[in-house]
Structure 1
Amino acid sequence: MYLSVVVPVYNERDNLPLLYQAVVDALKPIEKPWELILVDDGSRDDSLPVLESLADSDPQRVRVIALRRNFGQTAAIAAGIDHATGAVVVLMDADLQNDPQDIPMMLEKLEQGYDVISGWRKNRQDTFITRTLPSNLANWLISKTTGVKLHDYGCTLKAYRREVITGFRLYGEMHRFIPVFANSVGARILEVPVNHHPRKFGKAKYGLERTFKVVLDLFTVQFLSRYANKPIYLFGGTGSVLILVSGLVLFYLFIRRIFFDVSVMNSPLFQISTMVAILGFQSILMGLIAELLARTYHESQGKPTYTVRKKINFTEDDHS
């Protein structure tokens, strides 16, 4: 299979027939086989019967996954990726705000040597205060923190080569961070402007509270992308700084004791510096334990600490 289009669905009954037809029309120029994977995320309307009807009408291309309850957009996307068979995976929303007509253009960009094509809703059709402004702030924060500079992390419409989105699991609201994970394995990322349409049916599923969840997930993403294979750098570095600060405070106290005859043991600074030193020592120990866990994780699964873009003059039996 060349292409898998994965669409998470939650209460989008009226949009689904139009979405299916829009995808079919957009992919007519694609001569290679493709599939449309629709993941029902515990919808409470009649979305699932509509999905079943679409699957019956086009059994060769439409596949439906029905989750037992509403697990969230990230879990639905993860389920779709897990069941996708295409070498290229395209993610998009079911609310018709993403335009399937952009997919062929994104596939052409992939053929130019990129691994991830990220959509940018340059002319976004959402309310500014409740949707666009928080999204812009989150995009700026994520770009600054991760170093992967994108204008629109929140745009679901993205195209990926399968090999750059395997090897990690998605939790929380982490689907928007997939480009960051892909970048950590050396993926070539290109951001392209895409169409964005006003919502025709239904209502938005997310509000301002989602921004706080994204910020919390950002801490996890930073740790996993930068320190998952070298946790001692984080814990050991923090511990070393704490011990250094404690040592400087103690040196200051003893200087005062020598030259000004000021008691050291009764000073609150002495007690604080002692606690800081203990915290620093514990942080280093946590780093060593994390190093053992990281090695156990990789070695127990035979999981390498590197990724290969391509091999030349190797056969499938060659492992060196």
Structure 2
Amino acid sequence: MLCLSIVVPLLNEEESLPELSEWINRVAVANNLSYELIFIDDGSTDESWKVIESLSNKNAAVKGIKFQRNYGKSAALNEGFKAAQGNVIITMDADLQDSPDEIPALYAMVMNDGYDLVSGWKKKRYDNALTKNIPSKIYNSVTRRMSGIKLHDMNCGLKAYRKNVIKSIEVYSEMHRYIPVLAKWAGFRKVGEKVVEHRARKFGVSKFGLSRFVNGPLDLASIMFVGRYGKKPMQFFGLLGTIIFLIGFGVGGYLIVDKIISPENSLSNRPPFYIALTCIILGTMFFLTGFIAELIIRNAPDRNHYLIEQKLKL
């Protein structure tokens, strides 16, 4: 039985791949771990894929997936998760900033200590403070507060997962940053953390741009909403719509009563009238949105798909 799957997404990392592959093999052999190493080439324009083919010819444990174009790290991880067969899946970056020497301890925390997911914590970093470290601290603080998951480095690429975790979640858009949150909403609560070595980049340049500052918060909002209301949207839209509608109805009712008591007071020329009208319209729209969302879910093929941990006599 395969002990370990190591999933490595990459983009234009031809220089680092031979050293990374040899290092991982050395660690696995030394610790008697059967493994597969899955490289996912996310549309590289250099010779990365040829290097992967060469490494695979030399080592049967090396496997590869090549995207026709660049789809992003989340898509690469999702395909790697689909292909992984090991009992424990470890993800790491291809730029040699993650140390393969961390693999045995991460593996043991999942297999021996019972963690569903273990996230690395790069306590000492070699990244640029202004563009990476400070934004990372802010991002992690906000994510901890919103998700309730107490990790210092949510976006660390070095993570270990129990097999059923990665087979139970789907990673898309830019949601690789929030895999611990996705795992929590799927019902996997035992999340651990390990301080890991962060190495200075040896080859190439960082592939992450300014778009992460916009996409990251939007994806977090999506995860939080879908996690809470994905199977019961009416509870969100219906409640919000009802509150807004009642506010508008109450203000409108007050204006009508005031008009009846004091006919000289204008009804339509007063700002509260338009506020009330807007609230009634918005409330109705939110309520109808909830109905439409419920109809969509009712007709979805996976509407009654739930993760079952165990069954007894069934």
Q: Which of 277-286 and 141-150 deviates more?
A: 141-150
- Residue 284 of structure 1 is matched in structure 2 by 287
- Residue 99 of structure 1 is matched in structure 2 by 99
User: What's the secondary structure of 1:90's corresponding residue?
Assistant: strand
Q: What is the aligned length?
A: 310
Q: 1:230–1:104: structure 2 CA closer, same or farther, 3 Å change rule?
A: same
Return the alpha-carbon distance in structure 2 between the equivalents of residues 308 and 106 of structure 1: 26
Q: Which of 187-196 and 288-297 deviates more?
A: 288-297
- Residue 55 of structure 2 is matched in structure 1 by 54
- Indicate if the aligned counterparts of 1:242 and 1:279 stay in contact, CA closer than 8 A: yes
Q: Which of 190-199 and 214-223 deviates more?
A: 214-223
- Residue 123 of structure 1 is matched in structure 2 by 124
- Residue 221 of structure 2 is matched in structure 1 by 219
- Residue 12 of structure 1 is matched in structure 2 by 13
Return the alpha-carbon distance in structure 1 between the equivalents of residues 163 and 202 of structure 2: 32
TM normalised by structure 2 equals 0.92
AA partner of residue 220 (structure 1): S
Return the alpha-carbon distance in structure 1 between the equivalents of residues 236 and 279 of structure 2: 17
1:54-78 Cα distance to aligned partner (Å, 9 max, x none)? 000002x110111111111111111
Deviation of residue 309 (structure 1)?
2.8
- Indicate if the aligned counterparts of 1:131 and 1:207 stay in contact, CA closer than 8 A: no
1:290-301 to 2 correspondences below 5 Å: 290-297=293-300, 300-301=301-302
Return the alpha-carbon distance in structure 1 between the equivalents of residues 102 and 304 of structure 2: 36
- Indicate if the aligned counterparts of 2:28 and 2:34 stay in contact, CA closer than 8 A: no
1:128-148 Cα distance to aligned partner (Å, 9 max, x none)? 001111111111122222222
- Residue 82 of structure 1 is matched in structure 2 by 82
- Residue 37 of structure 2 is matched in structure 1 by 36
1:82-102 Cα distance to aligned partner (Å, 9 max, x none)? 111122211110001111111
- Residue 272 of structure 1 is matched in structure 2 by 275
Return the alpha-carbon distance in structure 2 between the equivalents of residues 117 and 12 of structure 1: 26
AA partner of residue 198 (structure 2): H
- Residue 205 of structure 2 is matched in structure 1 by 203
User: What's the secondary structure of 1:109's corresponding residue?
Assistant: helix
AA partner of residue 101 (structure 2): Q
Where does the alignment leave 5 or more consecutive residues of structure 1 unmatched?
none
Q: 1:303–1:88: structure 2 CA closer, same or farther, 3 Å change rule?
A: farther
- Over aligned residues, Cα RMSD in angstroms? 1.9
Return the alpha-carbon distance in structure 1 between the equivalents of residues 205 and 284 of structure 2: 52
Return the alpha-carbon distance in structure 2 between the equivalents of residues 310 and 28 of structure 1: 34
Q: Which of 142-151 and 63-72 deviates more?
A: 142-151
AA partner of residue 81 (structure 1): F
2:239 aligned with 1:229: no
Deviation of residue 49 (structure 1)?
1.1
User: What's the secondary structure of 2:173's corresponding residue?
Assistant: coil
Q: Which of 106-115 and 5-14 deviates more?
A: 106-115
- Indicate if the aligned counterparts of 1:131 and 1:208 stay in contact, CA closer than 8 A: no
2:176 aligned with 1:175: yes
Q: Which of 264-273 and 234-243 deviates more?
A: 264-273
Return the alpha-carbon distance in structure 2 between the equivalents of residues 149 and 258 of structure 1: 58
User: What's the secondary structure of 2:299's corresponding residue?
Assistant: helix
User: What's the secondary structure of 2:25's corresponding residue?
Assistant: helix
Q: 1:267–1:139: structure 2 CA closer, same or farther, 3 Å change rule?
A: same
User: What's the secondary structure of 1:217's corresponding residue?
Assistant: helix
Return the alpha-carbon distance in structure 2 between the equivalents of residues 23 and 295 of structure 1: 47
- Indicate if the aligned counterparts of 1:95 and 1:201 stay in contact, CA closer than 8 A: yes
TM normalised by structure 1 equals 0.91
Identity rate, percent: 39
Deviation of residue 123 (structure 1)?
0.8
- Indicate if the aligned counterparts of 1:130 and 1:207 stay in contact, CA closer than 8 A: no
Deviation of residue 182 (structure 1)?
0.6
Where does the alignment leave 5 or more consecutive residues of structure 2 unmatched?
none
Q: 1:136–1:56: structure 2 CA closer, same or farther, 3 Å change rule?
A: same
User: What's the secondary structure of 1:4's corresponding residue?
Assistant: strand
Return the alpha-carbon distance in structure 1 between the equivalents of residues 242 and 132 of structure 2: 42
Return the alpha-carbon distance in structure 2 between the equivalents of residues 126 and 118 of structure 1: 19
- Residue 255 of structure 2 is matched in structure 1 by 253
- Indicate if the aligned counterparts of 2:297 and 2:303 stay in contact, CA closer than 8 A: no
- Indicate if the aligned counterparts of 1:253 and 1:264 stay in contact, CA closer than 8 A: yes
Q: Which of 174-183 and 138-147 deviates more?
A: 138-147
1:185-223 Cα distance to aligned partner (Å, 9 max, x none)? 221111221111000110111133312111121221112
Return the alpha-carbon distance in structure 1 between the equivalents of residues 284 and 30 of structure 2: 62
Deviation of residue 156 (structure 1)?
0.9
